[in-house]
Chain A
Amino acid sequence: MTSKVSSTTEQADGADGALVGGQRKPAGTKDVRRLDRVIIRFAGDSGDGMQLTGDRFTSETASFGNDLSTLPNFPAEIRAPAGTLPGVSSFQLHFADHDILTPGDAPDVLVAMNPAALKANVGDLPRGAEIIVNTDEFTRRAMQKVGYAVSPLEDGSLDGYQIHPVPLTTLTVEALKEFALSRKEAERSKNMFALGLLSWMYHRPTEGTERFLRTKFAKKPDIAAANIAAFRAGWNFGETTEDFAVSYEVAPAATAFPTGTYRNISGNLALSYGLVAASRQAELPLYLGSYPITPASDILHELSKHKNFGVRTFQAEDEIAGIGAALGAAFGGSLAVTTTSGPGVALKSETIGLAVSLELPLLIVDIQRGGPSTGLPTKTEQADLLQAMYGRNGEAPVPVIAPRTPADCFQAALEAARIALVYRTPVFLLSDGYLANGSEPWRIPELEELPDLRVEFAQGPNHTLDDGTQAFWPYKRDPQTLARPWAVPGTPGLEHRIGGIEKQDGTGNISYDPANHDFMVRTRQAKIDNIAVADLEVDDPGNTARTLVLGWGSTYGPITAAVRRLRTAGEHIAQAHLRHLNPFPKNLGTVLAAYDKVVIPEMNLGQLATLIRAKYLVDADSYNQVNGMPFKAEQLATALKEAIDD
């Protein structure tokens, strides 16, 4: 297999002589070393543009053909007080010449734009890591603000690391002196200087970033030019300064990927595309009713850009109206979606119950974040599983599915739509903050690969009354799926009324009859229980393992990375990962019974474990972390090793 940058990446305009074949190449005589993988973390103030810097480095890396995985980490405040520890924003990127599964446990390189960024992140670095510090920001006052009495650059506390002191701000301002910018304006380009330097260090293609800057600042060509100049100055600085004696190559991950066309994609973007794709495949217009909430708002932003796909986005007055409007659109025959996070789900609960009772298709996308209450808006967690399962009054079963990686959010959205449309039910799609903002390469599917999601609306009577007349019964079910007909307004002869009051089986008329209620409760449950979902696949090479690690959602990457480490070390362990949390795959009980020990790592206090223990009477072990961050592979590997040895 070979990998190449496709032709959609345009040639840069060649204004700079250092461009070679559309890509800047380190031209000097410096030492170049090959690495198989690198973990870089950019850290600075929340106003320093670290997320943008990380995004750009990621795009360069993706277009170069490495496998990659990212972990943005930022405070909930838009601009937390400058120079403070709570204000630190960071972006971690792991890239490699082989397939990787996580953003990496510990950075090999830290770019620290100020003392706060250094202090907040240095604890995560292994000894020997490289630290690039912006020395201009290491003033007495800035250091005092974060509790450094003496400069950590001088007191020997960083002796175990390779420190690169770089006056990033001064160099940036110097590089931009030709531009008619104030010092403050010029300083703002220091993140691009840093990006240029790192791009040199790791031989990243640069034309994408320059093109990006030109587009982003199309209306302010001076600012575009200044940023590009800062970016190039950073590159040239690496090329010329004595301090950076070595640059690194990480070859494209040529064998890691199956044949196809790839792009880098975040979870929220993949999920948005999945919804647009589901709408196309169902031949139904997409309707999103939503209220802004972190970390789900990006889906609202993205879908609102695609009105030319017939996508209607409605920013409602609150969470309840968001799902209400979606449910109204579902009644009218749209593929209806509401997007939110945990606190929003709490507000939507009554309407979800109504959707269960009305038996209309509706997607509820929950991008989970730290809870309870407002919790940790920008941090990840998996603690809404039981809310999705049980957070409603009455017996109100709702199918629940979860994506496992950022790119997988695309397929998960299609699967959620399939279940909703076939079974006429609300469906929970449980993503989380880590998947939403993290990114990885995605093989872009061919349109022919997408599932057929078309459904038939009811067109005429479906029941013959005792006297022989034809009638339409809105709750007469499909014998296979138990789904009721979807009769949309505008269809002559099918006028009917539905509502949240218990309905008589078949006719759908109001019924308070005890036996009918018992029957309807059990029927709605049976409909969900009998949803056809794929069997759970178990990865157990040679069938030698006695311990099974079972996961769901975004823990897939760290669990799989941990399993690989254990197997490399000669351990035997089986792995399975659930896409469907409700209903569970039919073979799950058999799978669980086949192992002496089942370990369930979760970013909560054991919610899946609770479900598994209750349903299958399996003495599953729970391994939990709720610190707002994904598991680290090493930590999981250690925990799983203990379970194997136990």
Chain B
Amino acid sequence: MTETTTAHGTGGPAGRGPAAAGTPASTTFASLSLVPKAAARQSMKDFKSDQEVRWCPGCGDYAILAAVQGFMPELGVAKENIVFVSGIGCSSRFPYYMNTYGMHSIHGRAPAIATGLATSRQDLSVWVVTGDGDALSIGGNHLIHALRRNVNLKILLFNNRIYGLTKGQYSPTSEIGKITKSTPMGSLDVPFNPVSLALGAEASFVARTVDSDRKHLTEVLRQAAAHPGTALVEIYQNCNIFNDGAFEALKDQQQAEEAVIRLEHGQPIRFGPDRAKGVVRDPATGDLQVVEVTPDNEAQVLIHDAHSASPTTAFALSRLADPDTLHHTPIGVFRSVDRPVYDTLMAGQLDTAVEQNGKGDLAALMAGGDTWTVIG
């Protein structure tokens, strides 16, 4: 996918959620221990840039922007030490609207660029904003390698299951059979499940949330920000122009009860009206299934363990959702485990090298072993 030069919708509301001004920096973020603290309390306003937001009116990106701007003060770090890096696509315009440092780079490469920045500057809080096409199609390689390395990056993957900026072609998360401009007879590709993909790529933190649920979105951001290492947050985002209502099943009051499974660490995985349904393990296959909870099987309902060393159950949870109806879609933190952080390890090797060999001496390096001298 390449970007069209066509200007897209301008104007529109600058964020729809309630302004969370002056949230106190009460949470401790282990991942930010090397990032300088803000000198004074920061508010949502401090994180709004002077640029006019140019997403289409009604785009789900507005809600995410507002939630992120609202959450940022909570980090408690100096905003000049926060960097947003993006690729190409509608979501990738995000950095322009954040009054932090930012780079709007090229298609799919944001994780690579952010890796260079994060591994060379541990005093920064580095965020990647990407979309389903950017992260999973043209940039798939960079995404999986960032995840396996566990660089201290927070990756926000806006998944609208469509290409927006090039005006409506199917994406790697579009449901099979999707009718679009490039697939008039329906798309043939099996979609990626970003959460499954991330878990397979050795991700240490994987979560899913929804653009319209500000509270849930903010809570997931909070946990992602606190995670030392790469955090992947898939955000279901509505493209009201090219794929409107893609996540309606998860948003509609009636349907959502059936469709959404809210994961909370340490809690039984139950959902539905009166939490009548639950997730249990099928003793025959080891796979997960949804059942009506009865007094007989209540004890079998799975307790969500996001910190499990094995990603197996998290993966099984990620497969519960029906890709067509989205029924039984878990949201929340699937996996959050401690694993050595790449940039910390890299810095550690530099320190070890100095301990072992002393600080680099250029003259000695250049001289090497065998030299001879010519005397005038």
Contact = CB atoms under 8 A, between A and B. Distances in A.
A184 interface: no
Contacts of B350: 307-308, 310-312
Contacts of A568: none
Interface in A446-470: 446-447
A573 B304 CA distance: 83
A497 B94 CA distance: 10
Interface residues of A, number: 80
Interface string B92-118: 000110111111111101001111111
A493 to B, nearest CB: 7
A332 B116 contact: yes
Given A262-B373, A306-B365, A501 B104 contact: yes
Given A351-B109, A497-B49, A490 B372 contact: no
A2 B115 contact: no
Interface in A316-362: 316-318, 320-321, 324-334, 336, 350-351, 353-354, 358
A509 B51 contact: yes
Given A280-B362, A447-B362, A500 B105 contact: yes
Interface string B322-366: 000000000000000000000000100110111011111011011
B232 to A, nearest CB: 16
Contacts of B363: 446-447
Interface string B190-207: 000000000000000000
A8 B102 contact: no
Contacts of A512: 5, 7
A263 B121 contact: no
6 contacts: A254-B374, A321-B109, A321-B141, A328-B113, A495-B102, A499-B95
A306 B96 contact: no
A8 B141 contact: no
B370 A332 contact: no
Interface in B101-159: 101-107, 109, 112-121, 123-124, 141-142, 145
Nearest to A65: B372
B342 to A, nearest CB: 9
A552 interface: no
Contacts of A311: 350, 360
A42 interface: no
A195 interface: no
B376 interface: yes
Contact of B114 (A257, A328, A500): A328
A276 B362 CA distance: 8
B101 A327 contact: no
Given A321-B109, A492-B80, A2 B103 contact: no
Contacts of B82: 489
A208 B365 CA distance: 18
A520 interface: no
Interface centre among A4, A287, A499, A500, by most chain B C-beta atoms within 10 angstroms, is A499
Q: Please classify the interface of chain A as helix (H, G, I), strand (E, B), loop, or mixed, using the class held by over half of its residues.
A: mixed
B83 interface: yes
A336 B120 CA distance: 10
B112 A321 contact: yes
Contacts of A285: 120
Nearest to A208: B370
Given A325-B112, A490-B121, A490-B123, A1 B375 contact: yes
A316 B373 CA distance: 41
Nearest to B107: A350
Interface in A347-383: 350-351, 353-354, 358
A3 interface: yes
A8 B369 CA distance: 7
Contacts of B371: 6, 8-9, 261-263, 444
Interface string A1-15: 111111011000000
Contacts of A63: 370, 372
Contacts of A176: none
A329 B117 contact: yes
Nearest to A325: B116
Given A208-B370, A489-B80, A308 B105 contact: no
A491 interface: yes
B115 A314 contact: yes
Given A308-B356, A328-B112, A354 B106 contact: yes
Given A273-B365, A332-B121, A492-B78, A287 B116 contact: yes
Given A489-B80, A490-B124, A499-B95, A312 B346 contact: yes
A327 B367 contact: no
A162 B78 CA distance: 78
A320 B145 CA distance: 13
Nearest to A309: B360
A321 B115 contact: yes
A509 B49 CA distance: 11
B121 A489 contact: yes
B365 A328 contact: no
A264 interface: yes
A321 B366 CA distance: 30
A4 B373 contact: yes
Nearest to B356: A308
Given A263-B371, A444-B367, A490-B80, A325 B119 contact: yes
A497 B116 contact: no
Nearest to B47: A495
B375 A259 contact: yes
A255 B118 CA distance: 52
A498 interface: yes
A445 interface: yes
B370 A8 contact: yes
A103 B315 CA distance: 60
B368 interface: yes
B324 to A, nearest CB: 33
B103 A497 contact: yes
A409 to B, nearest CB: 13
A264 B103 contact: no
B85 to A, nearest CB: 7
Given A8-B371, A512-B7, 4 more contacts: A62-B372, A314-B116, A498-B103, A512-B5
B161 interface: no
A115 interface: no
Contacts of A447: 362-363
B28 to A, nearest CB: 21
Contacts of A491: 80
Interface string A461-495: 00000000000000000000000000001111111
B240 interface: no
A106 interface: no
Contacts of B49: 497
